[in-house]
Amino acid sequence: MLQLSDELAAKRGRLLELISSFGGCAVAYSGGVDSAVVAKAAQLALGDAAVAVTGVSASLAEGELELATALARQIGIRHELLNTDELANPAYVANASDRCFHCKTELYTQLAAVAERLGIAAIASGTNADDLGDYRPGLAAAAEHGVRSPLAECGITKAEVRALAAAWHLPVADKPASPCLSSRIAYGQAVTTERLRMIDRAEQIVRSLGISICRVRYHAGDVARIEVPQESIARLLEPATHAMLIDELGRLGFQSATIDPAGFRSGSLNESLPVHQLQSHSVGR
């Protein structure tokens, strides 16, 4: 195991102690680094009394389920799949700025039923301490359902999550964030299975160029806005590559595509939201 700082080692100890106090735990597990660290901690603290549960829907990018399944097997935690149906909820499909609230409500409602069936008292998410100051309507859904956030409760930041993942030899320690595909659709544009498919395939095309961090944002009129790190923009602007992108995205159903000169930034669609709205959905709401 990699050496941790005394401070992080102490936080790791508190994390394991906290999760152990649950007696049993169902982890909302996507296979990303945050939920993977919670799943690993739950497995260490609770053994067979811990289970990782992955919600499966059209908003899950291709390949993510397979990666999550393989990682759960490596961690050694029980793993269950849960078919969620957020697309049946008109409030989710409408894609207002609280879309994530409706998604997480669907997930946690179903997850609570799984926990009850298994005789497990606690549900845990991968929310870390840094998430508490971000715009995350899903945190309100977690609060309504009594979902615990052991990383945040122990004051563990995103950087510390990655350090713990590396110490536990989890292959996702450096994995880029991969939020659900619906987060790529501009607010006010309906979430549909077809649009999610278009976005997923478009991002696969960009990644096939050797660019692991990318977002293809969907805007009104079937417009794609491609975000990649600043150092990768020149690669997309090479004439042959640019022509290929325009052609391939057109085949997927996009009417036009643009490469954002500002580069990749997480949650860029939130830039259009009023400040008071961002504040009203922070933790502590």
pLDDT digit string (tens) for 139-191? 999 999 999 999 999 999 999 999 999 999 999 999 988 889 999 999 999 99
Q: Are 25 and 46 in contact (CB under 8 A)?
A: yes
Same domain (yes/no): 162, 203: no
Instruction: List, in sequence order, every residue forming a beta bridge with 269; answer none if it has no partner.
Output: none
Its domain, for residue 212, covers 181-265
| pLDDT level of residue 137 (50, 70, 90 thresholds) | confident
d(CA 179, CA 160): 20
Same domain (yes/no): 32, 96: yes
Same domain (yes/no): 98, 158: yes
Q: Tell which residue, 179, 174, 178, has the closest CA to residue 138.
A: 179
Q: Are 54 and 68 in contact (CB under 8 A)?
A: yes
- pLDDT above 60: residue 278: no
Q: What is the pLDDT of residue 269?
A: 73
Q: What is the pLDDT of residue 280?
A: 35
Q: What is the pLDDT of residue 51?
A: 98
What does the mean pLDDT of the chain come to? Answer: 92
Same domain (yes/no): 10, 142: yes
Residue count (the chain):
285
Same domain (yes/no): 83, 191: no
Same domain (yes/no): 201, 65: no
Same domain (yes/no): 49, 99: yes
pLDDT digits (tens, 9 = 90+) for 42-70: 999 999 999 999 999 999 999 999 999 99
Q: Could you give the 3-state DSSP secondary structure of residue 270?
A: helix
How many Cβ atoms from other residues are within 10 Å of residue 94's Cβ? 15
Q: Tell which residue, 23, 20, 19, 26, has the closest CA to residue 55.
A: 26
Q: Where are the beta strands (DSSP E) in 84-203?
A: 122-124
- pLDDT above 70: residue 210: yes
pLDDT digits (tens, 9 = 90+) for 256-277: 999 999 999 877 676 654 433 4
Torsion over CA: 71, 72, 73, 74 (sign): positive
- Rg of the chain over Cα atoms, rounded to whole angstroms, equals 19
Q: Is 1 exposed, middle or buried (0-12, 13-18, 19+ CB in 10 A)?
A: exposed
Q: What is the pLDDT of residue 217?
A: 97
**Domain at 193, CATH number:** 3.30.70
Percent of the chain, pLDDT > 70? 93
Name residues whose C-beta falls within 8 Å of residue 234's C-beta, 6 or more positions apart in sequence: none
Q: What is the pLDDT of residue 271?
A: 64
Q: What is the pLDDT of residue 133?
A: 74
Q: What is the pLDDT of residue 277?
A: 41
Q: What is the pLDDT of residue 270?
A: 64
Q: What is the pLDDT of residue 279?
A: 36
Q: Is 214 exposed, middle or buried (0-12, 13-18, 19+ CB in 10 A)?
A: buried
Same domain (yes/no): 121, 92: yes
Residue 281 lies in a domain: no
Q: Which of 9-13, 105-109, 136-140, 240-244 has the lowest mean pLDDT?
A: 136-140
Same domain (yes/no): 23, 68: yes
Residue 191 lies in a domain: yes
Residue 15 lies in a domain: yes
